[in-house]
Structures are given as structure tokens and as C-alpha cells.
């Protein structure tokens, strides 16, 4: 899972860089790519942190994420 997310992060970074360089007027697309990059970086960090959790903590984290993070 972590390798897939890292690959996604790299792909989004490349698309964002290319779009900013080649089409700086594409502000809506750039905003979307920045949002996607932030989400992918957060997912990557969660995966790294989750590797250190025990099974109960991982289950609680999964339940929280499935609820959308709301309390």
C-alpha cells in the first residue's frame, strides 16, 4: 500500500509541476492537483504511522477514516 501511495505522490507532483510550467493559466486544475497532492501526502503519512500501531489501534483508525474523520 505504501509503495502505491508513494507512486501516486510522485505522479501528482510531476503533473503539478508540468501544469504549472506549461499552463500556468490552468488555475482550477492546479488547485485540484495541489489538493490531491496534500491528500496523497497525508495518506502516505497515515500509512507510515499505522505501521507502528497494534491491531486494535489500526482497527480504530480504519473505523475513523471510514466515517470520514468525523466524531
**59 lies in some domain:** yes
Q: Where are the beta strands (DSSP E) in 1-71?
A: none
**71 lies in some domain:** no
Q: How many CB atoms lie within 10 A of CB 28?
A: 8
**pLDDT score recorded for residue 58:** 81
Per-residue model confidence as pLDDT tens digits over 8-43: 888 999 999 999 999 999 999 999 999 999 988 888
Counted domains in the chain: 1
Q: Does this model's pTM top 0.85? A: no
Is residue 37 within 8 Å of residue 9, measured between CB atoms?
yes
**35 lies in some domain:** yes
Residue 22 Cα distances to 14, 17, 30, 43, angstroms: 12, 8, 11, 28
Whether the predicted pLDDT of 2 surpasses 70: no
- The residue range of the domain holding 48 is 2-66
Amino acid at each position: 500500500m505504501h509503495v502505491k501511495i508513494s507512486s501516486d505522490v510522485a505522479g501528482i507532483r510531476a503533473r503539478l509541476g508540468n501544469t504549472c510550467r506549461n499552463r500556468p493559466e490552468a488555475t482550477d486544475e492546479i488547485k485540484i492537483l495541489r489538493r490531491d497532492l496534500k491528500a496523497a501526502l497525508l495518506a502516505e503519512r497515515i500509512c507510515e504511522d499505522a505501521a507502528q500501531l497494534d491491531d486494535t489501534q489500526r482497527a480504530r483508525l480504519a473505523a475513523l477514516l471510514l466515517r470520514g474523520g468525523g466524531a
